Amino acid sequence: MTQLILLIVGKWFLPIGGGVTRDELSQLLLIFVGTAADILEFTSETPSLGSNDSFQLIYLTLAVWTWSMLQFPLHLSVVNNKPEDEGDQSSSLLTRHSTDLWTIAQALFIHDGPFLAVRLIVLIHFKVFNQMLVFFAIKNLLVLALNVYRLVVICQDSRSDNGI
């Protein structure tokens, strides 16, 4: 818990760099607080099992938790990388939507995807059922579904913009 608070407060007080405005920084800090709450709940699931034979789950939870910490230094979700000429049809999908694509990849592979996998393992394999676990599993599933939907929308818009 202390580590997450220090990451958020440290990011707040460090000099703004990399072209991030104060507005974008405030948005980023709000995202960090929500993500930190999900991470703290995630790490509280393992001790709730109360079983000494679940070392594999403890190691899996710690590995996914450590992996999820990568999202804090890789904070491109609020940086606006729009091309200078918005009407430029020759710019690629990656150029026009790099921030959106990074945010989607981050949700799929660093945060919500791995968290959902571990929560489903806890629910199905370890047969642990509580309201918070189910709530956060559904939340992760919804976030993943919305991100896949966003990816489809971006791809379809890119095709229609390019006249394909």
Range of the domain at 22: 2-161
Chain centroid to CA 135: how far?
17
> From CA 70, how far away is CA 111, in angstroms rounded?
9
pTM of the predicted structure, to 2 decimals: 0.76
pLDDT for 132 beyond 50 = yes
- pLDDT for position 152: 93
pLDDT digits (tens, 9 = 90+) for 35-53: 888 888 877 765 565 555 5
The CA-CA-CA angle for residues 21, 40, 120, to 5°, reads 115
Which distant-in-sequence residues (6+ apart) come within 8 Å of 79 by Cβ? 18, 19, 20, 24, 99
Number of domains in the chain: 1
pLDDT for 58 beyond 90 = no
- pLDDT for position 113: 94
Q: How is 86-145 classified by DSSP, letter by letter?
A: TT-TTS-HHHHTHHHHHHHHHHHHTSHHHHHHHHHHHHHTS----HHHHHHHHHHHHHHH
- pLDDT for position 70: 85
